[in-house]
Structure 1
Amino acid sequence: MNIALVGYGKMGKAIEEIALQHGHQVVLKITIDNTEDMTIENLQKADVAIEFTGPESAADNLRKCFDAGVPVVCGSTGWLDKWDEIKNICLAKNSAMVYASNYSIGVNLFFELNKYLSKLMKAYETYDVKMEEIHHTQKKDAPSGTAITLAEQILENIQTKKGWVNHPSNNHQELEIISVRTDPAPGIHKIKYTSDIDDIEIIHTAHNRIGFAGGAVKAAEFIKGKKGIFSMKDVLGL
């Protein structure tokens, strides 16, 4: 399979290493220094594009991939205010996209665990729930896209919480997310239910970027030849 890497930072390089191990070819690498090379002609050399950039460029990059008729795996976060627009363009162009806030297989299992735990806990209002996420200092968005996904899952079930905030809060209706930026830290997400009697806590700790990169390559293998919009739940058959 021929892959275009839109974004060739630390994550892009990790994805390239895994892709080559799987026998794929990287036919295009787009960085901040060669954006002019992201043309329809160059994109069409690829079977799939993998897009890991930032919130300021992700939506435009996705549009270009759809214009080229190339399915895309998107791991950029912080751009979901444009989700409806991008989804409609993808469907109108009869293209395909996998979007996930996190491509780690472990994190996606953690998502399922978080949903199940929040369903159990909704009957026990004596517990309060709070979150913390820790990432490296180069991470541009806070809270992380993964933390937002986890928070939204909790809000679906814990009816006493009306929304999340990214700061300490004494308001019982707010789900507190504390964001910490320190090096080195590929990613830690903590969810803690606290009562006067005890605590219940689940934690996911990433040791490196290999899990994220491997999941992105798995998603690229999944989406080749497909049409529509998919998630890692589809990729993993969860």
Structure 2
Amino acid sequence: MKIGLFGYGKMGKMIAGMAEERGHTIATKVDLDTVEIDYASFDVAIDFSTPEAAFENITNCFKNNVPVISGTTGWLDRYQEAVELCQQNDSAFIYASNFSLGVNIFFELNRQLAKMMSQLNEYTVSMEEIHHTQKLDAPSGTAITLAEGIMENSSYMDWQLNGTGENSIPIHSIREGAVPGTHTIAYDSEVDGIEIKHTAHNRKGFALGAILAAEWILGKKGIFGMRDVLNFT
């Protein structure tokens, strides 16, 4: 598989190394200084660029019949527009806030727990996410996905960053050290508490998941998610 890698920061470099270990080729590396892109030179694009560049990177690939795997956050106000352009160009697209296999299992556990707790009004939910100090956005995209999973399966209507409100999920964001990512969902009542937690030990899981998604999407058309890649039903 020949990969067009959009964004060559820490994640991009890790994806490149792991892809080559799995027998794939990085056909092109697109970064801030890249002027011309030969879209015919790669089979699939993996985008871990910047919020400012992501939409253009993704939609240009669709227009050139290249399927896209994107893990870039901060551009999702244009997500639906990207989906429509993908469909118009009969291409394929997977966006995920987190490609880690463990995190995607955690997403499923979170949904199931939210369903189980939805009838137990004596419990209130909260979330904590911890990341390294170089991560500027808060809450994390993973935390937002977790909050959406709770809202879809309960009476909670929205989430609030570092705050509380009726029918809102409080998300506490902490930035410290070199933490790759830790997410905790807690349900508390007067008598006890229940927690589920995912801790990333390094970024390799994110890179592997993105490559597995790229391998999976070849030959397909449409809009997919990691639930499709992992065959969760």
Q: Same fold (TM over 0.5)?
A: yes
Q: Which residue of 1 aligns with 2:157?
A: 162
Post-superposition Cα deviations, 1:42-99, rounded to whole Å, max 9, x if no partner, equal 1220000100012222111111111221111001112211111100000001111111
Aligned to 1:15: 15
Does 2:148 match 1:148? Answer: no
Contact in 2 for aligned 1:191/1:201 (Cα 8 Å): yes
SS at match of 2:19: helix
Q: Is 2:92 aligned against 1:96? A: yes
Q: What secondary structure, in the 3-state scheme, does the structure 2 residue paired with 1:66 have?
A: helix
CA distance in structure 2 between the partners assigned to 1:206 and 1:163 by the alignment: 26
Work out the CA distance in 1 between the residues paired with 2:43 and 2:152: 37
- 2:230 maps to 1:222: no
Separation in 1, partners of 2:136, 2:210:
20
SS in 2 for 1:4: strand
What 5-or-longer segments of structure 2 have no aligned partner?
none
Q: How does 1:1-238 map to 2 (within 5 A)?
A: 1-32=1-32, 34-37=33-36, 39=37, 42-159=38-155, 161-169=156-164, 171-238=165-232
TM superposition shift of 1:133 = 0.8
**Number of aligned positions between the proteins:** 232
Q: Distance in 1 between matches of 2:201 and 2:50?
A: 22
Q: Using the alignment, how far apart are the partners of 1:118 and 1:224 within structure 2?
A: 34
Counterpart Cα distance in 2 of 1:200 and 1:165: 21
Q: Give the conservation status (yes or no) of the 8 Å contact 1:28–1:43.
A: no
Measure the CA separation in 1 of the matches of 2:28 and 2:46: 10
TM-score, normalising length: structure 1: 0.95
- TM-score of the superposed pair, with normalisation by structure 2: 0.97
Structure-2 separation of matches of 1:11 and 1:80:
19
* Aligned equivalents of 2:50, 2:131: Cα separation in 1: 15
Q: Give the letter for the 2:117 counterpart.
A: M
Structure 1 distance, partners of 2:111, 2:141, is 16
Identity of aligned residues (%): 52
The Cα shift of 1:5 comes to 0.6
Q: CA RMSD in A?
A: 1.0
Q: Secondary structure at the match of 2:136?
A: coil
Q: What letter is aligned with 2:210?
A: A
